[in-house]
Structure 1
Amino acid sequence: MFIRNESFYSFRRRYPIITILVGIHLILFIWMNFLPFGNWIRALGIGYNLAVANGEYWRLITPIFMHIGAGHVIFNSFSLVIFGPALERMLGKFKFIVIYLLTGLIANIATYYLGGLTYPPHLGASGAIFGLLGMYVYLVINRKDLIDRANSQLVMTIILIGLVMTFVNPNINILAHLFGLIAGAALAPLFLSGAKPFYAEQRVFVDATEPIFDPNRWQKKRKNTKIVKQIFWVIFGVLVLSGLLSRFIL
């Protein structure tokens, strides 16, 4: 679910919503940092509770797409590329973009109401990405038919590490992370209705001379190989979350 081996062409064809979102991240990052009127775009779209109180309600959505630092945009986009594809395929394009934007919106609304008018300006896709992680929490607990044991262990380990890092790192929008996660888990039953396992759409080979797809193939690997792979992806997930949790509050 979380290992990407597609070419760029096949990835953008199979996951168009994620491709578009990452493209928006990069375009806005380049515009805000290197092109004319970049400072104006940043000032107009950044999350700022006092401005929201004065009627600039678009600031509850626009920060989801905006990043300033190169590390911030790269790691947030990486997180989306890793955790998003399985959900885009299971939910479908429309449900995926709705849950992504809705959890990001809820995260920013929580920041507005609980952070107060003096809360510092904030931006980044982390709240929405934690919304996706919240959906995985629900999958692991209540929809084991949609996620296998190995992926369950992997994603829960990464989520727990992400939560710990949320509280120990400075300049983090803790409210957005927590409420994005909660919103994703709470809305998951509604959006996962009728969903099929990610592996269900994979091609099954019937030619005896060709390999046969087996959704339980990872369980048949030797135990030490499985442990090495899990350790690798946990470390990679930690690195991704390190970037995900950086410079969320300016």
Structure 2
Amino acid sequence: MRQILKLSIKPASMVLSLATIVASVWVAYDATGSLFSTVRVSALRGYGATTFADIANLELWRLITAQLIHVKQGHMLYNAVCLLLVGSLVESKLGSLRTLAIWLFAGGLATYVSPIGIKAPWDAGTGASQAVFALAAVALVLIFQRNVNRMRGAVLVAFSLVPGLALDFMTAGYPKPGHAVALFLGGLLGLIFHVRTCPEDREPR
């Protein structure tokens, strides 16, 4: 059990987690006057949330900023913890640059598609949950390839995925587009990076 709980916190994951907290809290305070208040989705576009029109206008920086800001700060704190934990697990095997690339590419694109089917002015992609899903998918690849402790990995993946998926099925009846795309892209990048980085680095059965 001690071995399962032992996890070294990695620098890139810590930076992503802290940046998420700082950006979200600052936006909440600036928009509402309170550090932990709920911020309207329509208001978040002015702080970096992304829509299809924004990306069509080549405002590509929103793929970064949208992942840092949240509607609900309780959800933000949960995402920040997941980024720190499952991100550190992934980073321990793939390194900081690849972990950041997963966050940027998979998380950014999944956040971009997350408003599919949502009408304006609520059609803005925000939040770190897409990046969390992408990193969890990478962690699943590492688990199946025995590159990380399986029990530790399973606990962290379940902690990162189960609440979000449960909420998706309760509210929509299926995984929401942003989460589904994040899982696909995360799994794909996990396979690519695994082959290049740690094909022979396996945990004992």
TM-score, length-scaled by structure 1: 0.62
Give the C-alpha shift of residue 185 in structure 1.
0.5
CA-CA distance at 1:26 after TM superposition:
1.8
- Deviations along 1:143-178, one digit per CA (max 9) or x if unpaired, are 13x1344346545655466434322136x9811111
Please name the residue that 1:224 is paired with: none
Identity rate, percent = 24
- Using a 3 Å threshold, how does the CA distance of structure 1 residues 189 and 43 change in structure 2: closer, same or farther? same
Could you say which residue in structure 1 is the equivalent of 2:165?
163
Give the CA deviation at 1:19. 1.4
What is the one-letter code of the residue matched to 1:133? A
Q: Is the 8 A contact 1:90 1:198 kept in 2?
A: no
Name the residue aligned to 1:137. Answer: 140
Q: CA deviation at 1:77?
A: 0.6
Q: Shift of the alpha carbon at 1:91? A: 0.7
Which residue matches 1:206?
none
Unaligned runs of 5+ in 1: 200-214, 217-250
Higher Rg: 1
1:233 aligns to what? Answer: none
Q: Are residue 21 (structure 1) and residue 16 (structure 2) matched?
A: yes
In the TM superposition, 1:110-125 aligns within 5 A as 110-111=113-114, 114-115=116-117, 118=120, 120-125=123-128
The CA distance in 2 between the partners of 1:5 and 1:153, in whole Å, is 13
Q: CA, structure 1 residues 36+44, in 2 after alignment: closer, same or farther (shift >3 Å)? A: closer
CA RMSD of aligned residues (A): 3.5
**Is the contact made by 2:141 and 2:187 (CA closer than 8 Å) also made in structure 1?**
yes
What stretches of structure 2 of length at least 5 have no aligned partner?
A: 34-38
Matched, 1:56 2:59: yes
- Name the structure 1 match of 2:148: 147
Question: What is the alpha-carbon distance in structure 2 between the residues aligned to residue 47 and residue 198 of structure 1?
Answer: 39
Q: How does 1:203-242 map to 2 (within 5 A)?
A: none
Contact 2:114 2:178 survives alignment (8 Å): yes
The code of the aligned residue for 1:23 comes to: L
CA contact (8 A) 2:169 2:175 kept: no
Letter in 1 for 2:181: F
Does 2:102 correspond to 1:107?
Answer: no
State the aligned residue count: 190
Q: 2:177 aligns with which of 169, 175, 178?
A: 175
Q: Deviations over 1:55-86 (max 9, x none)?
A: 43332332111124220221111111221111
2:193 to 178, 191, 194: 191
In 1, the alpha carbon distance for the partners of 2:150 and 2:15 equals 31
Q: Which is worse superposed, 36-45 or 48-57?
A: 36-45
